[in-house]
Amino acid sequence: MSYFKKLQNCFNRISRAGFDKDFEIRIGGHSIYCSRFVASLISQKVSNLLSIDPTASKITLNFFHKYSKEEKELFISSFEQFLNGNLDTPTFFLDESENSKLNDKTSNKFNNDSKTDSIQQNSPSTEDGNIKNEKDYENDDEEILSEMQSSILNDKEKIFYIELGKILDNHDFLEECFQDVEENKNISIENVFKRIRMNKAYDRPNIIEFSFLSANFYQIDEIIRQNENMYYELDLNDYEQIFSLEYLKISNEDSLFNFIVKLISKRGEIYKSLLDFVEVQNLSNDSIEKLIVFIEDDMVKTSLLHPKLYSSIFCRLLQNNNQRISSTPSTNSYIGSYGGKGSFNPNNNVRNTPSKVDNNFSNYNLTHTNSAPGHISPMSTLTNNVFLSDRYQQSKPFNIISYLTAASGGNIYENDTISVKVSSIHDGQISNLFDESTHTHFRTNKSTNSSIEQSIIIDFKNYRVKFDKYSLSVPSSKNGQSVGRPESWAIEVSNDNTNWIEVARETESDLLNSYGAREIFDCSTKMDKYYRYVKFHSLDEYSFLLLSSIELVGYITKKILYME
């Protein structure tokens, strides 16, 4: 029996007990009534409201996504039935034919298994000692099959309960629906894109999925080529994360190049920035000629050339001095990233060693410093720091901490992608702030002087960030820590760690005053440029500072080095 069916049985007993339906939940212009007890049980928001105002009798909630009027009515009807304990199957986005197929498939599997089992049994008996006949088996099959099917949560039911969990701020609903997604062993080429779509729909990170795609890209590439609609499954930021991972596996460099060329033709010139991930020294002459077309086109339009791509071309030129390329620049001072002046060893190219489907991507070296292809070693002959934000033309904000975690292949504090300075440490690890889990925590010491701030300063080192939203979370009930949840705080940014600009402030907020609470906040000041340092500091006097995670929603740019 599924978690949600068990919950409904409890609601059914409560309903039959005759508790007063003294609380109104208003969603999308509709009102649903239930007892305060049930409302508090299913909704963190209701629980928070009643803890502040025990006389409250109504709450207004909003849909997490946009739906048609008909869809909202179906959702409200299913929700009401759920609260009364008599919901059979949610009618929200349900296609009965698909349910039928699911049940038939389950039934066939069960019947095949039961036949095999019956052969192995030795004349089993009923409770009264009589030998079971075929009809008895059929009755048993129906009973067990009914129990099996009641525990199946299909994809469309998951959509209903995930939406409900988001609306009610019920993390138990979300964990139940996503529990199969959390396990690496369930990921496959067949389901990875569906997992990505569901994670995106509900603002969940795709670190595992992107790592899987990177480690198996030589197979994914072919699948996408066969179904051109799949070129639209991922956006530019997704591809940047996938191609940046060290354990990227491709059939050969030409295949990656041709894939990106096809992507540019389908999605537009903004995807040209992905050419930076091509190691030009591995391209065939035919592909080099195609690349030159893109380079010349860019130079005509902008008179600019991407520094990483420019340096990679140098490496190719040094490999084969006979290659005819117009406007060949001097290479006397170029130092390649593969050791030695302009040297290259193809045996070191991990990208060209595909094997069977790779689910062990977490075993690769995740602290490799040159995570992006075409990286140029920071030698003394390289000058002029520049940033990549204009090149990448990031079209929409994204989760910066999650992006860096995926790009670096691990906890960004532990692998030195960033450094962090804190005012003090009471308990927990600094790295816990960047593991995206509410089951871990970090806490500063209690302030003993109102003039001493409890703060966390993040140094993004070679990156700069610009954000207009941020999220904070506090420990879950599983973690059990609650003392020091922030109520008043400010966020400041700086490029020198001395002169700070305040971009966000919250005063006496109760949004983090519950186990596992995770909230998104808007910045009060719009940033007009990128910053290296971000400081979070508590405004609560004489208090600890307790957090589980920090996330910034915006844009990131990376500093690179290139020759004049």
**CA of 193: how far to CAs of 150, 163, 231, 326, in Å?**
27, 20, 11, 42
Helix axes 207-215, 192-201, angle to 10 degrees: 150
Boundaries of every domain in the chain? 1-94+151-178, 179-317, 401-558
Look at residues 233, 317, 236 and name the one whose alpha carbon lies nearest to residue 277: 236
Digit-by-digit pLDDT tens for the chain (564 residues) are 578 888 888 888 888 888 899 999 998 788 999 999 999 998 888 988 888 888 889 998 887 666 778 888 888 888 988 888 888 777 655 444 433 333 343 334 334 433 333 333 333 444 444 444 444 444 444 443 344 344 445 666 777 887 888 888 887 887 777 665 554 457 888 888 888 887 776 667 788 888 888 888 888 888 887 887 888 888 888 899 899 887 788 888 999 999 999 998 888 888 888 988 888 888 888 888 788 777 766 654 444 455 556 556 655 554 553 444 333 333 332 222 323 222 233 334 445 545 445 555 444 333 333 333 333 222 222 233 334 433 344 557 888 998 888 778 789 999 999 999 999 999 999 999 998 888 999 999 876 666 677 899 999 998 999 999 999 999 988 888 888 899 999 999 999 999 999 999 999 888 998 888 999 999 999 998 999 999 999 988 767 899 999 999 998 887 644 333
User: What homologous superfamily does CATH list for 401-558?
Assistant: Galactose-binding domain-like (2.60.120.260)
Helix intervals (H) in 89-216: 96-120, 134-150, 155-168, 171-182, 192-201, 207-215
Question: 549-562 and 398-399: which strand pairing?
Answer: antiparallel
Look at residues 295, 293, 297 and name the one whose alpha carbon lies nearest to residue 312: 295
CB neighbour burial string for 206-242, b if at least 16 within 10 angstroms, e if fewer? bbbbbbbbbbbbbbbbeebeeeeeebeebebbbbbbb
The CATH class that applies to domain 1-94+151-178 reads: alpha beta
So what's the pLDDT on residue 489? 94
- Residues written for the chain: 564
So what's the pLDDT on residue 371? 34
Look-up of token digits 């140098």: 314
Show contacts of 169-172: CB within 8 Å, 24+ apart: 169/43, 169/44, 169/45, 170/42, 170/43, 170/44, 171/44, 171/438, 171/476, 171/516, 171/518
Question: Which residues have C-beta within 8 Å of that of residue 318, sequence separation ≥ 6?
Answer: 331, 334, 336, 342
